[in-house]
């Protein structure tokens, strides 16, 4: 049983371009496949998936730190998706790597070890897609020090 339902509406514009309509007040978004299939006039489904994973991880990390009244801003995230052929020779997302970067040095944040040990477990999107392929997450601070 779900706690809520999210619905989006897609309408083909031309070829592989679709307008994606979200619930109000979120503006619409045009998607497209990269060449040679499409024209690259918008993010592809794989880019949207990577963005969703990165956004969810960033939100989860920020929420966990703010719970302890910490200010890690600005948080940034880079997600790389490996796309390749599966055992049936079909194109699939085979894995993702996400690198989150805090906007401050780790030494300025309290309870960071607790946050780093738990924030991923609360990320709805990442935990859901990780059931299908590996998602490797690392966290760095503003000095570049690897924290996780």
> What integer pLDDT is reported at residue 63 of this predicted model?
97
Q: Are 80 and 125 members of one domain?
A: yes
Do residues 65 and 128 both lie within one domain? yes
Does residue 33 sit in the same domain as residue 55? no
Same domain for 37 and 5, yes or no, is yes
Cα distance between residue 124 and residue 53, in whole Å: 9
pTM of the model: 0.92
| Angstrom distances, CA of residue 139 to CA of 72, 85, 87, 92, 116 | 12, 29, 32, 26, 8
- CATH code at position 108: 3.30.300.20
- Tokens 């085979």 correspond to what residue? 94
Residue 78: half-sphere exposure toward Cβ, Cα within 13 Å:
4
Tokens of 2: 């779900």
Q: What is the mean pLDDT of each run of 10 residues along the chain (148 residues)?
A: 85 96 94 95 96 97 97 97 96 97 98 97 96 97 97
Residue tagged 């009244």 (tokens): 69
Task: Return the pLDDT at 128.
Answer: 97
Tell me: do 12 and 83 sit in the same domain: no
33 with 80, same domain: the answer is no
Q: Is residue 32 part of a domain?
A: yes
Domain that holds residue 49: 45-140
Q: In the prediction, which pLDDT does 3 show?
A: 82
Residues 38 and 85 in one domain: no
Same-domain check for residues 35 and 101: no
């Amino acid at each position: 049983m779900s706690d809520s339902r999210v619905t989006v509406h897609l309408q083909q514009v031309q070829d592989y371009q679709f307008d994606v309509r979200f619930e109000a007040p979120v503006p619409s978004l045009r998607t497209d496949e990269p060449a040679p299939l499409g024209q690259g006039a918008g993010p592809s489904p794989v880019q949207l998936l990577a963005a969703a994973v990165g956004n969810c991880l960033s939100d989860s990390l920020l929420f966990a730190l703010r719970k302890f009244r910490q200010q890690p801003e600005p948080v940034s995230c880079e997600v790389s998706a490996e796309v390749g052929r599966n055992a049936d020779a079909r194109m699939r997302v085979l894995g993702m790597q996400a690198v989150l970067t805090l906007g401050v040095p780790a030494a300025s944040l309290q309870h960071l070890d607790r946050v780093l040990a738990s924030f991923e477990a609360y990320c709805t999107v990442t935990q859901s897609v990780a059931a299908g392929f590996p998602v490797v997450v690392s966290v760095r601070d503003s000095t570049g020090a690897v924290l996780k």
